[in-house]
Amino acid sequence: MTQELWSAVDQYFAELLTPRDAALDAALAANREAGLPAIDVSPPQGKLLYLLARIQGARDILEIGTLGGYSTIWLARALTPGGRVITLEADPRHAETARANITRAGLEAVVDVRVGPAQETLPKLAAEGCGPFDVIFIDADKASTPDYFTWALKLSRRTSIIIVDNVVRDGAVIEGANSDPGVRAMRRFFEMVSAEPRVTATAIQTVGSKGYDGFGIALVIADG
């Protein structure tokens, strides 16, 4: 009762709840064509990001880790009129693929893809006075998640939500002796969350077409 069933159930939900969508399908096809890794959020996960952003009435969204823009398209479609998504991507080839996918989805006017390591782009965004963001989705190099969470807090205000992907990784998150930098980073992230009075948070384990993983979700409850 594992991967095969999880994928079948994801497909069942996807068929009923995330009907075939030309722009999203084309984005995944273009990513494959360009040789990008197939590590986009799944359709039900993309829909979750969309729902959270819509519930939030988001006007300003920050994404760290664009890949081919699949999650970006979900987030951008949830924007309130006049809103925009800024999405950060280190790899110029990924960013180029994402821009084409976002344009095909008709969202180029509301999405700003910034190329470069997020560690360098985030201070620039702060210096430009960008933010506070209503929704921040952290999904880039896993080892930097604690740093990105620190930046997310700086670029937040009361009522912002911060969503972090890949926090479970097949359960490795509970392994205190695991030396994998990604696992160590997620444990550090949860320690930070637990000690941070400005947020209240949860973590949700997920199974599906992307295996066994999960999201961290934090609500900012005080101004920075």
Yes or no: say if 217 and 157 are a contact pair by the CB < 8 Å rule. Answer: no
Q: Using CB under 5 A, which residues numbered 157 to 216 contact Mg ion?
A: 165-166
Please choose which of Mg ion, ligand DHB, ligand SAH, none residue 155 contacts, taking the beta carbon within 5 to 8 angstroms, the exact cut-off set by kind: none
Sorted by sequence, the CB contacts under 8 Å of residue 119 that are 6+ apart come out as 144, 147
The residue to which tokens 């934090």 are assigned:
218
C-beta of 29: minimal distance to ligand SAH in Å?
14
CA-to-CA distance for 114 and 92, rounded, in angstroms? 9
Is there binding between residue 139 and Mg ion (CB under 5 A)? yes
CB nearer ligand DHB, residue 155 or residue 167 = 167
Q: How many Å is the Cα radius of gyration of the chain?
A: 17
Given candidates 60, 63, 139, 147, which one binds ligand DHB under the rule CB under 6 A?
Answer: 139
Cβ(204)–Cβ(217) below 8 Å? yes
**∠ at Cα 119 (118, 120), nearest 5°?**
85
Question: Are the C-beta atoms of 40 and 71 separated by less than 8 Å?
Answer: yes
10 binds ligand DHB (CB under 6 A): no
Q: Would you say 134 or 139 has its CB closer to ligand SAH?
A: 139
Comparing CB distances to Mg ion, the nearer of 63 and 139 is 139
Pick the closer one to ligand DHB by CB: 145 or 156: 145
Candidate residues 39, 143, 172, 219; the one interacting with ligand DHB per rule CB under 6 A: 39
Which residues of the chain form contacts with ligand DHB (CB under 6 A)? Answer: 39, 139, 165-166
